[in-house]
Amino acid sequence: MKLLFSLLGLFVFSAGPVYYTQVVYTAPVTSDIIKTDDLYRYKGDSLDIIYTFWADGGAMAFMVLNKSNTPLYIDWTKSAYADKKVTESYYPVYRNGTNLSEVADIYKTPADWYKLFNPYILSGYEGSNALAEEPVTLLPAKSYLFRGCYKILPETRFSVKKLKPQNIPLISGMRESFPGWIMQGDSANVALGFGNTITYATQKDFSDAKIVNNRFYVWQVLTFEDAYFDNYNKDNNSVNCPYHSDKRYFISHLKISDFD
């Protein structure tokens, strides 16, 4: 009860509008996605796909790694981001009215992308010069490429109407717990599911095409005041926030009317 009155007091006595952050935790549905300490990695026979979601609003950025000794072809016209609301092919890239993320504004140069995925690039592998504007990419043997793609669950705000306020548990980097709301989800809730498909082949005519279909879901959402989202610098997408993980994303600067 004391916590409830504290939350209500924020709305009544605040000198200005109170803004909130939602930190969104994800998990893989697909069994062949490995959860590392830092991010998710699909491990296939010929290629790996390594994901990072950490951005304001969420953005599925990923690296495709050709582990084989032969070139691979990737058909972007038959590869796509998908959630319950949106299915968007990765080609063509530039279209009016799409839900393309602003991840390209965060990772502007090859050096930015390299820094992001550097720990997962195998020794002896070279970056591909493939352009995002091409419908089919030839990915040489022992090479990799980067892609920044669509927003995760576009325009989604997670409601707290049916939740009771409680203390957000203490995590590394935080001095004490603080008031907020905790929402739990599961893999059966398709409304909170998202993922992508990648179509690739060893033959240029795609006669031996294979499809990787990776799926994720939201299993927890924390909602609390922006003030507790410490050390986040929106200008450089800082990873210093104690909530940072490439397996999560966040939605910041929300008014209570945005998610109530």
Instruction: Kindly list the distances between the CA atom of residue 169 and the CA atoms of 5, 24, 53, 133, 175, in Å, as whole numbers in the listed order.
Output: 19, 15, 23, 45, 11
Using 50, 70 and 90 to split pLDDT, how confident is the model at 91? Answer: confident
pLDDT at residue 11, as a whole number: 45
- pLDDT above 90 covers what percent of the chain? 44
C-alpha 17 chain-centroid distance: 28
What gap in Å lies between CA 38 and CA 34, rounded to an integer?
Answer: 11
Tokens 């997408």 — which residue?
A: 237
pLDDT at residue 98, as a whole number: 55
Instruction: Kindly list the distances between the CA atom of residue 16 and the CA atoms of 12, 19, 102, in Å, as whole numbers in the listed order.
Output: 10, 9, 29
**Between residues 141 and 84, which one has the greater pLDDT?**
141
Q: Delimit the domains of the chain by residue range.
A: 2-9+18-259
Q: What is the dihedral of CA 189, 191, 193, 194, to 10 degrees?
A: 170
Q: What is the pTM of this model?
A: 0.86
